[in-house]
A and B are shown apart, each in its own frame.
Chain A
């Protein structure tokens, strides 16, 4: 039952940042550095509540090894890097996994244009859908 690190499987992550948005203590943070989007984790902020693991829609977030004493508590540790792309709605750059930036994204976008949006616009879109009674219930 020791505190375990947070890891993100790059092959599953699609940059939706649900983990970052769900984190109660901002231990997980997203940042854009030019053409690269990162998710970083700071052990000293982490509550080890594993909510990030629970909300990840792709099972990309997994517990790692037990946190060692030598773990530098306030240094953010980059967990995953993805290419960044620009949101067609707001223009901001965000991290995009293959589902968004690869060839499959084009096909999917025909069905659901939200996939190409950045996480904020996507969330806003879903929220407005709820208010308009489209009944897209939010996940915990």
Chain B
């Protein structure tokens, strides 16, 4: 029997559309479950508008080191339509640039479930020191 995959969501400040599809993904795939408080997750899903400020705050407190990271939705990839007025992306650290991304606004649940399974299989730590 395969191990269940413990999923942690770090919500940087989303409209919660991605959370709806993530919850659906957790229901669709019985091997995925939401990580409990205090448990070490197997994968972290990032949602919400990705800015230097949000990320710095989240890294300090909520994103554990060497756990695969998956960016879910256009906000977490490119800030979606919340991108800053000068059109320039904040220079987010390279860790997020390399983390797999599920495109969509929001992406559908089976795409998210697929991305989680791929991220866990690859066993590649996406958070640099």
Chain A residues close to B by CB (< 8 Å): 1-3, 24-26, 42-49, 67, 69, 71, 73-74
Contact = CB atoms under 8 A, between A and B. Distances in A.
B74 A25 contact: yes
A94 to B, nearest CB: 20
15 contacts: A2-B111, A3-B111, A25-B74, A25-B80, A44-B78, A44-B101, A44-B103, A46-B74, A47-B81, A69-B115, A71-B103, A73-B71, A73-B78, A73-B103, A74-B78
A35 B114 CA distance: 42
Contacts of B111: 2-3, 67, 69
A1 B80 CA distance: 20
Closest 5 CB pairs of A and B: A44-B77, A25-B81, A73-B101, A47-B105, A44-B78
A74 B89 CA distance: 11
Interface residues of chain A: helix, strand, loop or mixed (majority): loop
B108 A74 contact: no
Given A3-B111, A26-B87, A67 B104 contact: yes
Number of chain B interface residues as a range: 20 to 34
Interface string B3-46: 00000000000000000000000000000000000000000000
Nearest to B111: A2
Interface string B69-112: 00100100110110100010000000001001111110110110
Contacts of B100: 69
A66 to B, nearest CB: 8
Contact of B105 (A1, A49, A69, A74): A49
A83 to B, nearest CB: 27
B118 A69 contact: yes
B101 A3 contact: no
Contacts of A47: 74, 80-81, 105
Contacts of A74: 77-78, 97, 101
Contact of A26 (B83, B102, B107, B110): B83
Contacts of A42: 78
A24 B82 CA distance: 10
Contacts of A25: 74, 78, 80-81, 83
A3 B18 CA distance: 13
Contacts of A73: 71, 77-78, 101, 103
B105 A48 contact: yes
B83 A3 contact: no
